[in-house]
Homo-oligomer: A and B are copies of this chain.
Amino acid sequence: MSLVVMKFGGTSVGSIERIKNVAKIIAKKKDQGHDVVVTSSAMSGETDRLIGLLKEIDKDYDLREYDALVSTGESASCPLVAQALISMGYKAVSLSGIQIGLETDHAHSKARIMKIDGARIKKELADGKICIVAGFQGYNPVTNDIATLGRGGSDTSAVAIAAAIKADVCEIYTDVDGIYTGDPRIVRKAKKLDKISYDEMLELASLGAKVLQSRSVEFGMNYNVDIMVLSSLEDKPGTLVTKEDDEMEQVVVRGVASDKNQAKITIKSVPDRPGIAATIFSRLAKEAINVDVIIQNVSTEGNTDLSFTVSKTDLSRSLTVCRETAKEIGAKEVLADEDIAKVSIVGVGMRSHAGVAAKMFEVLAANSINIQMITTSEIKVSCVVDEKFAELAVRVLHEAFVED
């Protein structure tokens, strides 16, 4: 017998029929003799409906009231899941973020989890009950106000709850059946992975493989929670996200990913003085804009060109900041390019295998794909290329690194 946390997204509980199906999956787990804690999202469409009502009043809404409003989505779906189990003859109880003592900071609409008091969950489990916990929501213990973790935050709360109650595994049920070596819609020969390390998953998640929210993986890594990604539609093995082992090091590239939600900004003729780059990037940081790949050309005549990427959604705000700053520091002009994509290979095996980056450049060159920018980490190499080459790049890299 083990202690299992199961997480279901909005689509899985999107109708009463689906809720009954989810209840069967949960009941089966309980029948196998496990203690079961479930976290559920709002019924699909419900969160958008609530936000729609709020925006009808005011597009520039108050974040505290936003949290109080949207948290009702999960607070409504969980009693329905609990009822479905009770009607099947199981003991079940729905619990809100406040009830399980999920404490957050003050950042309404994107709060961070500070602490989870597992006492209530443990009491209910000891009574033989299945706990159905509202994902995505907690409360600020200082103000006693509800706070939500931001969209997708129910993955994070599931893993955090698993950590708090020392669950053996956190199962994330989704509409895909696991993590693949590449996007199956692009790469025909993409294979499902049995397991993947936290580090690799983090790189893939941030690179556009949107199966798991990055913060949930960080939580899993920090608290050593095994995360299993599974299908809620089919009963078959998923992918385990877990800590790195020796076997994993044998594989150089675990997966290939692409991200088209990128835009490149170039500031021309920036005076090459100490502190200039810091000025630009600290102003972007103040606007909460994440900068990804950065390259600075070799200086000529005391001036240099500075290029970096931001997400497409942040582009217009970034340009405003950059144009103001360019004027102040005496840079020549600011250019934007939205037609780019970032293509990446990820694998912990890179640490012990040389020449991986070189091989990547060769493969791209052999297919006439020009590399605009490069960035690397210990377990990842990313290249920015023309957007129209994104799928081709993924395919040839998958062939060269994964299929061989």
**Contact surface of A with B, Cβ cutoff 8 Å:** 16, 19-20, 50, 53-54, 56-58, 61-62, 64-66, 68-69, 71-72, 75-76, 78-80, 82-84, 86-87, 93-94, 96, 98-99, 120, 144-146
Contacts known (A65-B94, A94-B65, A99-B144); A19 close to B79, Cβ less than 8 A: no
CB distance from A64 to the nearest CB of B (A): 7
The listed residue (B75, B83, B93, B99) touching A58 by CB distance below 8 A is B83
Give A16 Cβ to nearest chain B Cβ, in Å: 4
Given contacts A16-B53, A68-B94, A144-B120, whether A61 and B75 have CB atoms under 8 Å apart is: no
Q: Name the B residues within 8 Å of A16 (CB-CB).
A: 53, 56-57
Are B72 and A57 interface neighbours, CB within 8 A? no
14 contacts between A and B (CB under 8 A): A16-B53, A54-B80, A54-B83, A57-B84, A58-B84, A61-B83, A62-B82, A62-B83, A65-B83, A65-B94, A68-B75, A68-B82, A72-B75, A75-B75
Question: Cα distance A145–B75 when bound, in Å?
Answer: 12
| Additional 16 contacts, C-beta under 8 A, given A57-B87, A65-B86, A65-B93 | A16-B57, A19-B57, A53-B80, A57-B84, A58-B83, A58-B86, A58-B87, A62-B82, A62-B86, A65-B79, A66-B79, A68-B79, A69-B76, A71-B75, A72-B72, A120-B144
Closest to A58 in B: B87
* Chain B, residue nearest A43 (CB): B53
- Contacts of A62 on B, CB cut-off 8 Å? 82-83, 86
Instruction: For the complex, give the distance between the alpha carbons of A74 and B145 in Å.
Output: 16
Nearest to A49 among chain B residues (CB) is: B76
Q: Indicate which residue in B69, B79, B87, B94 contacts A80 across the interface (CB closer than 8 Å).
A: B69
Of all chain B residues, which has the CB nearest A62? B86
Q: Please, how many angstroms separate the alpha-carbon atoms of A82 and B84 in the complex?
A: 34
- Are B20 and A57 in contact, CB atoms less than 8 angstroms apart? yes
Question: Which residue from chain B places its CB closest to the CB of A69 in the assembled complex?
Answer: B79
- In angstroms, how far is the closest chain B Cβ from the Cβ of A50? 6
Chain B min CB distance to A209 (Å): 34
Kindly state the separation between the CA atoms of A20 and B96 in the bound complex, as whole angstroms: 30
Contact A57 B69, beta carbon cutoff 8 Å: no
